[in-house]
Amino acid sequence: MAATAHSDDYVIEIEGLWTRFGDFVVHRGVDLKVRAGEILALVGGSGSGKTTLLRQMLGLETPHQGSVRVFGQRLDTADTVALRALRNRWGVLFQEGALYSALPVFDNIALPLRELKCFDEALIRDIVHLKLAMVGIEARHAAKMPADLSGGMVKRIALARALALEPELVFLDEPTAGLDPDRSDSFVALIRSLHRELKLTVVMVTHDLDTLFELTTCVAVLADQKVIANAPVREVIAIPHPFIKTFFLGERAQRAIEVIRDYPFVV
Amino acid sequence: MPISDSDPRLDVAHAAGAAAVALRGCWNVQGLSDGAGGARARRRIAALRGALTDCAADASARWDLTRVEALDHVGALMLWQAWGGRRPAHLEMREQHRQLFDNLAAIVHAPAAAARRDLLAPVAAVGAEMLRFLEHLTGFVRLLGQLSLDLARFAARPQAGPWREISANVYRAGAQALGITALVGFLIGIVLSYLSAKQLKQFGADVFIVDLLGVAIIRELGPVLAAILVAGRSGSAMTASLGVMRVTEELDALTVMGIPHGFRLIMPKVLALAVALPLLILWTDAVSLLGGMVAAKIQLDLSIAFFFDALPAAVKIENLWIGLAKGAVFGALIALVSCHFGLRIEPNTESLGRGTTSAVVSSITVVILADAVFAIAFSNVGI
Ligand SMILES: Nc1ncnc2c1ncn2[C@@H]1O[C@H](COP(=O)(O)OP(=O)(O)OP(=O)(O)O)[C@@H](O)[C@H]1O
Ligand SMILES: [Mg+2]
């Protein structure tokens, strides 16, 4: 039965995770815990294994060693029924959107709802239009095919699809890459309002410092094949580590910090 | 089914003349769908909607949403639809849920396209089909023209030609098809020999099996058989690879680097098949005849040595040349048709499947058409 998570429950627990591709070690004992209601950003250099870690949290890849638990459930040992129920509780936005190219926009968003086989079409239609309105896509685009959309629209529609089942947990891979600054801002506002209304937990990979400062409650830094920090951004900045220095205190970062208005965003 | 605390439900109480409706449990996708959806969840949702509509019919009802365990847009939408798209007069809810209903008020529907009956629709469909066919035709002619230009360029400076691509294609379409063509050819040879042997025996014309098999296989069956197998094997692969390259914008990347894809992708495929198919045909002919010989030996007790002796006299050498010429033409046609469809694939998975199917069907049709043309043009050569 659908049990709602208590605020101090861990939604994701990763312990002692090792990943190897041949002789090449990507993760060397990664530990990471995410509480319910957190907005966590995963940062790290290019090739540090963020996407790989995200795929392991989704059960798309299995680590060589260590365990990944989502909602207290081990992904590698869970049976298909449990895994299916689990997958209805999360939504995923892939880096390239991954919309189903053979289906129009409307059906892309309706698909997960129809798959549950318990909502009628009138309700599904309203839900789809609501999601489209939430991500700022006009209703007239609902009949278009994914190939006829711009890159930013694909991203927003993929987000609408990720949110279709009102998940408790959403994974976002580079959500604001390819959005114009205005859209990035409305994306931040959307996630913030969903977080407030639905107690959403968010795990995202992002290089966008504005999003990072405005949205996250926690930043996990992946460097030296480990998670070297997992704390609010204000504390992370203070850590003397070369990667953190260049990432947050470089010239670009300084410019971004100057424009921050109200951070860190407190729940 | 045991009722748990998180099941969505309605408590209706009648106090002081007005109904008091209190929502309890999880009114979210998780709670409503019972985790995984299905028929039972659907029945429960239908029951809840019925109950909601009944309660909403009473305008003086007091709605209390403060005691729900969870509420999301889907749950809110069910309420909203029961209320007829506006808030009831007496409604109590938590502050955080207010925004959900504000969001619902913002839903905009696309205006439903007016379904008009068009009496001329069948005519228009025929016309559209014709135009599409014409468009295919012009596209094909343009491809042919481009190929001629590329061939001229290749002939002018052969050392700068795409030799590597040609040899790779010959290997893939030719060498790797040896196994399957041998198997099919051998079996067809046996079948043909076996069936004709029975008929010939009745007339005592046993020795004519050599003429029959020789002409049929070398002139007709070998070329068509090999061409059909290659169309299915390599034609579909060519369409799919060009299609995926188009979808992933690789073709555009080649263009902006100044690498013409006609010269580097299409011409090598056409040349490679024009070379590989005649060779495959030679191979298929040989294996089919072997199959025929084996069957003749068993059925008619015709010795293999006799078969070899009689073959050159029975089948004029022109038949072999016609067969090989057919191979070159068929090969070029298969490659051209496959590339034509590959270049027209749209960036979606369905189009890829449809394009590949059309390519195979069209190239087999074109091969058989060309075969008919050959049959008429060379009707008095070699027989
Ligand atoms: N299937 C694979 N086989 C071999 N190596 C792989 C594979 N997948 C990922 N890698 C390697 O693992 C490392 C981490 O890759 P990953 O895609 O997770 O990086 P990332 O942190 O997401 O980088 P970016 O920020 O550039 O997207 C890279 O060095 C990559 O080459
Ligand atoms: Mg990545």
- Report chain B's mean pLDDT, rounded to a whole number: 88
CA dihedral B14, B18, B19, B23 (to 10 degrees): -120
The per-residue pLDDT for A257 is 61
Confidence of residue B109 (pLDDT cuts 50, 70, 90): low
Would you state the pLDDT for residue A253?
64
Tell me if A26 CB under 6 Å of ligand 1: yes
| C-beta A49 within 6 A of ligand 1 | yes
pLDDT, position A267: 36
pLDDT value of position A3: 43
Q: Residue B273 pairs with which residues in a beta bridge?
A: none
Look up the pTM and report it: 0.77
Q: How many whole angstroms from A51 Cα to the centroid of ligand 2?
A: 4
Amino acid B177 reads: A
CA of B63 to the centre of ligand 2 (A): 48
Ligand 2 centre and the CA of A123: distance in Å? Answer: 36
Tell me how far the alpha carbon of residue A246 lies from the centroid of ligand 1, in angstroms: 21
How many CB pairs below 8 A link A and B?
117
Q: Do A196 and B99 touch (CB under 8 A)?
A: yes
User: What pLDDT is recorded for position A258?
Assistant: 62
Asked whether the beta carbons of residue B106 and residue A85 sit closer than 8 angstroms, the reply is: no
The span from the CA of B136 to the CA of A135, in Å, is: 40
Ligand 1 within 6 A of CB of A95: no
What pLDDT is stored for residue A5 in this prediction? 42
Question: Tell me, what's the pLDDT at A8?
Answer: 52
Least confident of B34-38, B165-169, B290-294: B34-38
d(CA B180, CA B284): 10
Give the Å distance between the CA of A215 and the centre of ligand 2.
20
pLDDT over 90 (residue A181) = no
Q: Which ligand is nearest to the Cα of residue A55, counting in written order?
A: 1
Phi/psi at B67 (5° precision): -105, 10
Contact in structure between B378 and B223 (CB atoms under 8 Å): no
Closest approach atom of ligand 1 to CA A22: 4
CA distance A21 to chain B (A): 26
Residue pair B20/B13 in contact (Cβ under 8 Å)? The answer is yes
Average pLDDT over residues B215-233: 94
Residue B52: alpha-carbon gap to chain centroid: 48
Q: Residue B136: what pLDDT?
A: 93
Question: For B75-92, what is the mean pLDDT?
Answer: 83
Where do we find the tokens 């969505």? B8
Average pLDDT over residues B215-242: 94
pLDDT of amino acid B139: 94
Q: What mean pLDDT is predicted for residues B269-286?
A: 96
Q: How confident is the model at residue A76 (pLDDT cuts 50, 70, 90)?
A: confident
| Chain A residue closest in CA terms to B76 | A127
Query: Which pLDDT score, from 0 to 100, does residue B1 have?
Result: 43
Which pLDDT band holds residue B108 (cuts at 50, 70, 90)?
low
- Residue in B36, B42, B349 closest to A101 by CB: B349
Residue with tokens 């005849």: B289
How large is the ipTM? 0.76
- For the segment A171-177, the average pLDDT, to the nearest whole number, is 87
Q: What is the pLDDT of residue A220?
A: 92
Cβ within 8 Å, pair B77-A126: yes
Candidates A27, A51, A172, A247: which one to mutate for ligand 1, based on the most atoms within 8 Å of Cβ?
A51
- Which of A80-94, A248-262, B113-127, B157-171 is predicted most confidently? B157-171
Structure tokens belonging to residue B160: 């700068």
What is the enclosing helix (H) or strand (E) of B71? strand B68-71
CA distances from B87 to A9, A126, B92 (A): 35, 17, 10
Q: Is A21 in the pocket of ligand 1 (CB under 6 A)?
A: yes
Q: Say yes or no to pLDDT of B168 above 90.
A: yes
CB contact under 8 A, B33 and A116: yes
Range with top average pLDDT, A63-77, B36-50, B276-290:
B276-290
Report pLDDT for A41. 92
Question: Where are the domains positioned within chain B?
Answer: 9-107, 139-377
> Which residue's CA is the closest to the ligand 1 atom numbered 5?
A21
* The pLDDT of residue B145 is above 60: yes
Q: Looking at the domain B9-107, which fold is it?
A: Transcription Regulator spoIIAA (3.30.750)
Chain A residues touching residue B110 (CB < 8 angstroms): 129, 139-140, 142-143
Q: Identify the band that residue A241 occupies on the pLDDT scale cut at 50, 70 and 90.
A: confident
Averaged pLDDT score across all residues of chain A: 83
The stretches of B157-266 forming alpha helices (DSSP H) are: 163-173, 178-202, 209-215, 222-230, 236-247, 250-256, 261
Lowest mean per-residue pLDDT among A3-12, B33-42, B100-109, B281-290: A3-12
